[in-house]
Structure 1
Amino acid sequence: MNNQTAFPFSRDFGRTRHRVEVGSDSDSAQILSFRDALDQKLEQRLFHECALREGHSEHGTLPKEAKEMAPDGAFVTRQVLFFAQPCFNTQNVEHWLEGMFDLRVMVPRNTTFYHEWLFRYAAEAGLIVIDKDSFGGEQSSFQRFAKIAREMCEEVPMIVLSRDFRVNDFNLSWSDNWDVSLQSPVSQHSLSLAIEVASDIAINGR
């Protein structure tokens, strides 16, 4: 995983504080400018978000049974093709796939090159994950891509993430071009269940 995604905020902003002097030279009174006050609040929010993320990734990310849900026989190559633009949700999923399930994740970030990546690495994929929201609301583009992915990787389990899904769906539906639907933001528990279903498909077929 890209190290930049692990620590999104630096605690050293390198920002010089501008102060406004008021009163006489003798008292040398200083107050923070209005912009500084806003920057200070923004820093606090960013630090808080960073702390939450670090805490979330350090605690409970390696349940004992996690790797049993993705046994060596399930995903022969251990390679995941994850088609997603970077955001907090997709970066979490990437981190959990690698850390919890010991899978290798390839993440093409630019939708322009999704088809190229698919054609190039389809033969190596043991699992395909697609973030539907990364297509920017272009439903037809997503549907075409999902259909092509299914045709090229017919035996490979496929998981789709989206805010549009009202619930998680682990039941195989022949009306879809994928196997598991996960509502975003994805939780560790729902991802674990999805990996369990995908493992069963990889071993026993649909």
Structure 2
Amino acid sequence: MSDRLTPQREAEIAERIPKRAAALTRWLNQFSPVDGDQRALENAETVLEEDVPALLAELAAVRAERDQARRELAKYVGAEPTIAEEMEYLSRCLDAVRDLCDAAEKQATRWEDPLPVPDWVEQVRTATDGVRPDDPNDNRRRIYIDGKGEAWLSLSHDREIRYIGKLAGAFHGDDTTDSVRERTGSLREIGRCW
């Protein structure tokens, strides 16, 4: 017999409870019970008639909740976007922002006497390129995403060589921004942290 209580085994137990309680009562009533025996009989009847059915009902409810949770989870397993899909989405977003900049510039310059292109257009274009001015006083670590979607963190700077390490996975100690960019096709800074 398995250690786990299956739904079939639960049903068998639930079916036997009334028979067992009645048989126990008949057997114990054959004897002249003393006070302790009478209390033991009442406790046994309570366990068989009330406690065990209540525990089986609770177990059934827990199983039903678990099964419902599994069904809900199954809706999402395998449905999460891949890194490539996330990157494609972000690229579409950046393209939409660039299109907005192009439209603003075209609107300003469409007249015979063109209006000045708004200052924000060039600032937003620069931001969408992901290029940040390098401030030598900024000592924060850089966070990068490579061409395969892996995250990296800057470790140190040695004569303009930036050593970086993976945020998750094996650490080699000799990876640089240039070697990772060469190996994966790209490396973009996505943020900074202390």
Q: TM class, shorter-chain normalised?
A: under 0.3
The answer to which structure has the higher helix fraction is: 2
TM-score, normalising length from structure 2? 0.27
TM-score, normalising length from structure 1? 0.26
- Higher Rg: 2
Highest relative contact order (Cα 8 Å, sep 6+), 1 or 2?
A: 1
